[in-house]
Amino acid sequence: MGGYCLLIPKQNPYGYLMINFILWIKKHWFFVFYKPVSVILLLVIFFSGCSSLSPKLDRQAWNEYRVKFITLSGRVIDTGQCGVSHSEGQGFAMLLAVGHNDKATFLQLWQWTQAHLQIRKDRLFAWRWNPADHPPVKDMNNASDGDILIAWALFRAADKWRLKNLRKSANEIVSSIKNNLIYPSSVGPVLLPGINGFQDEKGVDINLSYWIYPAFIEFDKQQPDILWRELINSGLSLLEKARFGRWRLPPDWLRLEKNMFLSDKYPPRFSFDAVRIPLYLSWGGLDDLALFKPFLSFWNVQKTKKYLPAWTNLNDDDIAQYAISPGAYKVFELMRHAINEEHIIDNQGELKLDVTDEDYYSNSLSLLARLAAVDAKLP
């Protein structure tokens, strides 16, 4: 029976299971009518033989990540930025701990995050903690993506381990996000990157990688509100319109006034932030090919360059002379599976994932892309 699994292609493999079984029925009709018990047994063998198609998390990769980037106290170390910690990184690790059913590590992460970052009166989190500074938190501003990731992880943990106190904390954070981080615009409500420093009388600077679509879907289940659908719609609308440069890519930072343009406060690039956009689209099940075309177009740079550049300048189309990280590459591979578009991409081969060669951010993207694939049941 295992031979039938070999007929199932990588794209959408489960859609072919029934076809293969029907073909088997036609070939072995005698057993169907005269040996029903045998047929039931064969059904079990057939589907269990194809169980390897189900995506799985890599526990060893998580253990290596935990040892390398998470202290015993629960602080996530950003090895690419001199050992600082961020609310974003705490949120990444909390999501991964829940996904790998590592309750002990999750609780350590959450306890450290509460004690050292949830020091604002509004239940949001200081965005950066630097052990070299005294005090370690010099900027009390928040980062909305960190707030969202932490709340989402808390909801997932509350569901998995039936811990009511975690749900209470998540609800408090989400209520504060609704009250403090929503900015009305011409495309609907948009997400402030932080409470302070991003808006003025003319408009607002936004970061489209902060639209964490699967988290908004979860928030709507936990705290039903039309706001979450409106945020999803505004993010998708902005992605359709905010396209710059040769490959029509969204920028890391976008200025939104009456019109939209590249923010002059930040490098005019598609790079380390915006690479998370296809991660969250895929994770949220938003698989409209039109949303992914800019990323697919940029992917094709590797046909001539033999590598996928880490960034491109959206003003002059200059590209990095070095490749994206293995983690960002995993995000692009997740996107390919999500939209079943492998056939239009010149694949230069799988990058081998080696945790010892990746910094915190790259390795986080690698594990998050795998968790997203498991959640979405992608190969």
Contacts of 195 (CB under 8 A, 6+ apart): 122, 124, 141, 142, 180, 181
Token reading at 224: 């039903």
**Phi, psi torsion values for 41, nearest 5 degrees:** -60, -40
End-to-end CA distance of the chain, in Å?
21
Catalytic residue positions, numbered: 88, 145
Token reading at 122: 């509004």
**Phi, psi torsion values for 373, nearest 5 degrees:** -65, -40
Using the 8-state DSSP alphabet, how is residue 49 labeled?
A: H
The second-level CATH assignment, the architecture, of 56-180 is Alpha/alpha barrel (1.50)
Distance separating alpha carbons of residues 152 and 212, to the nearest angstrom? 10
Contact in structure between 342 and 333 (CB atoms under 8 Å): no
In the block, tokens 């697919």 appear at 296
Q: Where are the beta strands (DSSP E) in the chain?
A: 85-86, 128-129, 182-185, 188-191, 204-206, 254-256, 260-262, 269-270, 312-313
Beta bridge partners of 189: 184
Comparing CA positions, the residue from 159, 155, 162 lying closest to residue 177 is 155
Distance separating alpha carbons of residues 332 and 327, to the nearest angstrom? 9
pTM above 0.75, yes or no: yes
Q: Are strands 188-191 and 312-313 parallel, antiparallel or unpaired?
A: unpaired
State how far the alpha carbon of 84 is from the alpha carbons of 81, 103, 357, in Å: 6, 24, 19
Comparing CA positions, the residue from 154, 203, 145 lying closest to residue 177 is 145
In one-letter notation, the amino acid at residue 147 is: D
In the block, tokens 């749900």 appear at 167
DSSP 278-296: HHHHHHTT---HHHHHHHH
Domain with CATH 1.50.10.10 in the chain: 56-180, 205-379
Q: What are the pLDDT tens digits along the chain (379 aa)? A: 333 333 333 334 444 444 454 554 555 555 445 555 554 544 544 444 444 445 689 999 999 999 999 999 999 999 999 999 999 999 999 999 999 999 999 999 999 999 999 999 999 999 999 999 999 999 999 999 999 999 999 999 999 999 999 999 999 999 999 999 999 999 999 999 999 999 999 999 999 999 999 999 999 999 999 999 999 999 999 999 999 999 999 999 999 999 999 999 999 999 999 999 999 999 999 989 999 999 999 988 877 888 889 999 999 999 999 999 999 999 998 998 888 765 444 444 443 333 446 899 999 999 999 999 999 887 6
What is the dotted CATH code of the domain comprising 205-379? 1.50.10.10
* Cβ-based neighbour number of residue 77 at 10 Å: 17
